[in-house]
Amino acid sequence: MAQWGWLAMVRPWTRGRLEAVGTLMKTIKPTQAVATILSRYQRRRNCQVPVTATDVYADTLARVCGDDVDLDPVERGLIHLKRHKVISGRRLVTLLARHQREIRSE
C-alpha cells in the first residue's frame, strides 16, 4: 500500500534525486517490469500469443507502405490480452506506456 509523503519532483539537473516541494502526495513504490506482469497474466489465464492471419496481414501491409513498425513480444502479448478481454483498454494503455518508458531508459 502506498504511503503518504512529501511531493517530490525529479529535475533534470538532479540526476534522479527527488526534491521536496512542500505538499503531500502518495509515495509510489518501485513497479514491476511489464514483462513480469504480462507473464503472470498469461500464466493465470493459460493463454499464449499465437500469430494470426491478421497479424501477418498487418505486418505485410505496414512493410509495403514503408512503415517501420514492429511490435516486440511484450506489446504483442498485451494486445492479445486486450483482444481476449483479460485486461481493459485503460490498463492496456497504461501498461504500453510503462513498457515504452522501460524500453527508452535501457
Residue-wise pLDDT tens digits, 60-88: 998 899 887 778 889 999 999 998 999 99
Distance in angstroms (rounded) separating the CA atoms of residues 105 and 29: 18
C-alpha cell recorded at residue 3: 504511503
The values of phi and psi at residue 82, to 5°, are: -70, -40
Residue 41: its H or E element? helix 34-45
Tally Cβ neighbours within 10 Å of residue 74. 21
C-alpha cell recorded at residue 96: 504500453
User: Can you point out the beta strands (E) in 1-106?
Assistant: 3-10, 18-27
C-alpha cell recorded at residue 50: 499465437
Cα distances from 12 to residues 17, 19, 24, 29, in angstroms, run: 9, 11, 22, 21
In the structure, what pLDDT confidence band is assigned to residue 32 with cuts at 50, 70 and 90? confident
Residue-wise pLDDT tens digits, 8-19: 444 454 454 444
Residue 97: its H or E element? helix 89-105
Specify the pTM.
0.62
